[in-house]
Amino acid sequence: MDATSSSTVVSQMRLSSRNFRPRFFESCPQIKTFMPPSRYACRNSSGSRTILSSNSVDSQSNNISGFSYCQPEKRSNVMGKTFCSAALYPSIYDEDLAKAPSHVAEEKIGVLLLNLGGPDTLNDVQPFLFNLFADPDIIRLPALFRFLQRPLAQLISTLRAPKSKEGYASIGGGSPLRKITDEQANAIKMALEAKNKDVSVYVGMRYWYPFTEEAVEQIKRDKVTKLVVLPLYPQFSISTTGSSLRVLQNMFREDAYLSRLPVAVIRSWYQREGYVKSMADLIEKELQSFSTPDEVMIFFSAHGVPVSYVEEAGDPYKDQMEDCIFLIMRELKARGINNGHTLAYQSRVGPVQWLKPYTDEVLVELGQKGVKSLLAVPVSFVSEHIETLEEIDMEYKELALESGIENWGRVPALNCTSSFINDLADAVTEALPSAAAMSTSTSSEEVENDPVKYFIKFFFGSLLAFVLLLSPKIFLAFRNNLL
Ligand SMILES: C=CC1=C(C)c2cc3[nH]c(cc4nc(cc5[nH]c(cc1n2)c(C)c5CCC(=O)O)C(CCC(=O)O)=C4C)c(C)c3C=C
Ligand SMILES: [Fe+2]
């Protein structure tokens, strides 16, 4: 493979990024209806309906939405429900298409790292928030009210921006995510080179530069023949990995080259031994900084999601988070570390119920119960970001100390920890053989949506639109909650 092109990928993308504006792809309605027998229907961008097969993961072929997933989801279809995200559009696999790019030329392997993105400067904060709230996987409106998505995003981003700006100002005037993700990209490339794999590593952010769309354009320009997609979120959520995969799926569906490109998606990787051990290493090391390590409460703080994601849309995030904590604690026990631990969820936004228990409430309770030493462990993300540097290190630390906790510590994010990067490189290598083309075909079969559920959605959608846009009292409550 061409060494020059592979080593310049990240910087090439940087050069073009300033002129790029994101496209807002039409997205699939969030179908929560249960479709017998084993099929779901969803409208695609042209308005025709696609047949979705029953479970989000076909455990035999491990092939979801035409992407080939190299790690079967243990509990992806929680409580027998499904949800409509890019990762979960099973489609028909076309072997002829799959062969096309790989046998034409010399193999060029690409690794696409997906991440959230963050504002580089304070001026970027409002447009970044706009992109975030304009995402139908972040604010999930019923299909009929999708036209409100962008006006609502404009409103919420404008209301939220001053508070967000304060946060970013306190951590140096912008998000460190881009820099850290670029460093991780370089580290993964080098780790793969050490394993005799020459790859180009691309960074695709969901809400800020370099956007996923830019990274994919670069992948096309580089004529990559095989792609591994690696979201930098250990656990899968509709709102993170799901959202990024939706962008990819829309791009891949529309493009002749991309639709033939063999792709493997590493859907979640919190269960990998390398990740679990790397987290345990960090915790073990940080515990040593306390005068009485055995008495320290290990406090896992995960980014929350609204409860409806888990209970209505079948987001596996909560289950995966609990599994993840179990695995890390099991590893610590195997090392003779038997501290107490707690899991709580942080960073809630807006007036809906989020996963509980809430980090701030648990900290107060622990202080009241007499816990004196606490080690905070950010667990849903692998880079330092605003929620670690501002929310945990400043807000939660202050709250904990006020609540009676005397000794506070925080485990750093994994960033470029070598055992972790090495494990991600292994994950890429293991995924490569399962890369398969994504199909663009849609079935002609049609399955009717449940009209009752459709009506219920319509009714509550109207109510939501009314409440959000017309009722001044609730609007004010909403506003106060955001600010
Ligand atoms: C696993 C990680 C994350 C999940 C799940 C997640 C869901 C989620 N987030 C919001 C709203 C906001 N998130 C914001 C920043 C932000 N979110 C994550 C990760 C997850 N989000 C990260 C890493 C970051 C920080 C990026 C950075 O710049 O450092 C923000 C902006 C910051 C702020 O104003 O607080 C918002 C808003 C929702 C609504 C949501 C699930 C629906
Ligand atoms: Fe977030």
What is the rounded distance in angstroms from the CA atom of residue 256 to the CA atom of residue 440? 9
Cα 267 to ligand 1 centroid, rounded to whole Å:
19
Residues with CB under 6 Å of ligand 1 are 116, 118, 129, 132, 138, 160, 164, 175, 177, 233, 237, 239-240, 303, 305-306, 349, 380-381, 385-387
Cα 240 to ligand 2 centroid, rounded to whole Å:
8
Helix, strand or coil for residue 112? strand
Q: Shortest CA distance to 230 belongs to which of 274, 279, 265, 275?
A: 265
Residue-level pLDDT at 77? 28
Backbone CA torsion sign across 275, 197, 429, 84: positive
Out of 157, 347, 390, 415, give the residue to mutate to test ligand 1, the one with the largest number of ligand atoms within 8 Å of its CB. 347
- Nearest residue (by CA) to ligand 1, atom 33, is 164
User: Which stretches within 171-298 are classed as H helix?
Assistant: 177-194, 212-221, 243-254, 256-260, 273-287
Residue-level pLDDT at 457? 54
Cα 118 to ligand 1 centroid, rounded to whole Å:
9
Question: Cβ distance 395 to 376 under 8 Å?
Answer: no
Give the closest ligand to the alpha carbon of residue 345: 1
Q: Shortest CA distance to 275 belongs to which of 323, 238, 319, 327?
A: 327
Residue-level pLDDT at 106? 87
Distances (CA, A) of 19 to 14, 16, 220, 424, 459: 10, 6, 18, 31, 41
pLDDT in tens, the chain (483 residues): 333 333 223 322 322 332 223 322 222 222 222 122 222 222 233 333 222 222 232 222 223 333 444 333 333 322 222 222 223 222 222 333 334 454 556 899 999 999 999 999 999 999 999 999 999 999 999 999 999 999 999 999 999 999 999 999 999 999 999 999 999 999 999 999 999 999 999 999 999 999 999 999 999 999 999 999 999 999 999 999 999 999 999 999 999 999 999 999 999 999 999 999 999 999 999 999 999 999 999 999 999 999 999 999 999 999 999 999 999 999 999 999 999 999 999 999 988 999 999 999 999 999 999 999 999 999 999 999 999 999 999 999 999 999 999 999 999 999 999 999 999 999 999 999 999 876 543 332 322 345 555 455 556 655 655 555 555 444 444 444 444
- Nearest residue (by CA) to ligand 1, atom 1, is 380
Q: What is the dihedral of CA 399, 405, 407, 409, to 10 degrees?
A: -50
- Nearest residue (by CA) to ligand 1, atom 41, is 305
ipTM given for this complex: 0.94
Residue-level pLDDT at 441? 39
316, burial (CB in 10 Å: exposed 0-12, middle 13-18, buried 19+): buried
Q: What is the dihedral of CA 391, 397, 399, 401, to 10 degrees?
A: 180
What is the rounded distance in angstroms from the CA atom of residue 59 to the CA atom of residue 69? 10
Cα 224 to ligand 2 centroid, rounded to whole Å:
31
The DSSP output letter for 389 is I
The DSSP output letter for 66 is T
Which residue is associated with the tokens 């779901």?
40
Question: Cβ distance 90 to 39 under 8 Å?
Answer: no
Give the closest ligand to the alpha carbon of residue 164: 1
Cα 319 to ligand 1 centroid, rounded to whole Å:
19
Count CB-CB contacts under 10 A for residue 3. 10
What is the rounded distance in angstroms from the CA atom of residue 38 to the CA atom of residue 461? 27
Cis? peptide before 231, omega within 30° of 0: no
Report the residue count for the chain: 483
What is the rounded distance in angstroms from the CA atom of residue 344 to the CA atom of residue 330? 18
Give the closest ligand to the alpha carbon of residue 132: 1
Give the closest ligand to the alpha carbon of residue 306: 1
Cα 137 to ligand 2 centroid, rounded to whole Å:
12
Radius of gyration in angstroms for the set of CA atoms belonging to the chain, rounded to a whole number: 22
